[in-house]
Amino acid sequence: MRKHIKNNVSWVGFIDWELEKFHGDDYSTMNGSSQNAYLIEEEKTVLIDTVWTPHRSDFVENLESEIDLNRIDYIIVNHGECDHSGSLASLMKRIPHTPIYCTAAAVKSLEGQYGKSGWNFNIVKTGDELDIGNGKKLRFIEMKMLHWPDSMAVYMTGDNILFSNDAFGQHYAVEELFDDLADSAVLDGEALKYYANIIAPYANVLRKKLDELKKMQLDIDIIAPSHGAVWRQNPMRIIEKYEQWANDYKENQIVVAYDTMYEGTAKIARKIVEEINEQSPETVVKLYNISKSDKNDVMTEVFKSKSLIVGSPTISNSIISGVAGWLEYLKQLKLKNKRGAAFGSYGWSGESVNIIQDKLREAGFDVIDENVKSLWNPTDEDFNQAKVLVSSILA
Binding footprint of ligand FEO on the chain (CB under 6 A): 79, 81, 83-84, 147-148, 166, 226-227
Q: Which residue is nearest to ligand FEO (CB)?
A: 81
Q: Which is nearer to ligand FEO, 83 or 190 (CB)?
A: 83
Q: Give min distance, CB of 295 to ligand FEO, in A.
A: 19
81 among known catalytic residues: yes
Helix/strand/coil for 156: strand
Count other Cβ atoms within 10 Å, centred on residue 387: 17
Q: Which is nearer to ligand FEO, 169 or 344 (CB)?
A: 169
171 among known catalytic residues: no
Q: Give min distance, CB of 194 to ligand FEO, in A.
A: 10
Q: Give min distance, CB of 13 to ligand FEO, in A.
A: 11
Count other Cβ atoms within 10 Å, centred on residue 294: 13
Cα(55)–Cα(87) distance, integer angstroms: 7
Q: Which is nearer to ligand FEO, 149 or 322 (CB)?
A: 149
194 among known catalytic residues: yes
Are 371 and 355 in contact by the 8 Å Cβ rule? The answer is no
Q: Which of 386, 175, 170, 155 is nearest to 270 (CA)?
A: 386
Cα(31)–Cα(236) distance, integer angstroms: 24
Q: Which is nearer to ligand FEO, 22 or 346 (CB)?
A: 22
Q: Give min distance, CB of 225 to ligand FEO, in A.
A: 9
Q: For residue 267, which phi and psi values (nearest 5 degrees)? A: -65, -40
Q: Is 53 exposed, middle or buried (0-12, 13-18, 19+ CB in 10 A)?
A: middle
Q: Give min distance, CB of 198 to ligand FEO, in A.
A: 8
Q: Which is nearer to ligand FEO, 148 or 326 (CB)?
A: 148
Q: Give min distance, CB of 226 to ligand FEO, in A.
A: 5
4 among known catalytic residues: no
**Which residue in the list 16, 42, 83, 382 is annotated as catalytic?**
83
Q: How is residue 363 annotated by DSSP?
A: T
23 among known catalytic residues: yes
166 among known catalytic residues: yes
Cα(376)–Cα(256) distance, integer angstroms: 21
Q: Which of 296, 289, 263, 275 is nearest to 376 (CA)?
A: 263
111 among known catalytic residues: no
Count other Cβ atoms within 10 Å, centred on residue 343: 28
Count other Cβ atoms within 10 Å, centred on residue 41: 18
176 among known catalytic residues: no
**Which residue in the list 101, 142, 227, 258 is annotated as catalytic?**
227
Q: Which is nearer to ligand FEO, 227 or 232 (CB)?
A: 227
Active site (catalytic) residues: 23, 79, 81, 83, 147, 166, 194, 227
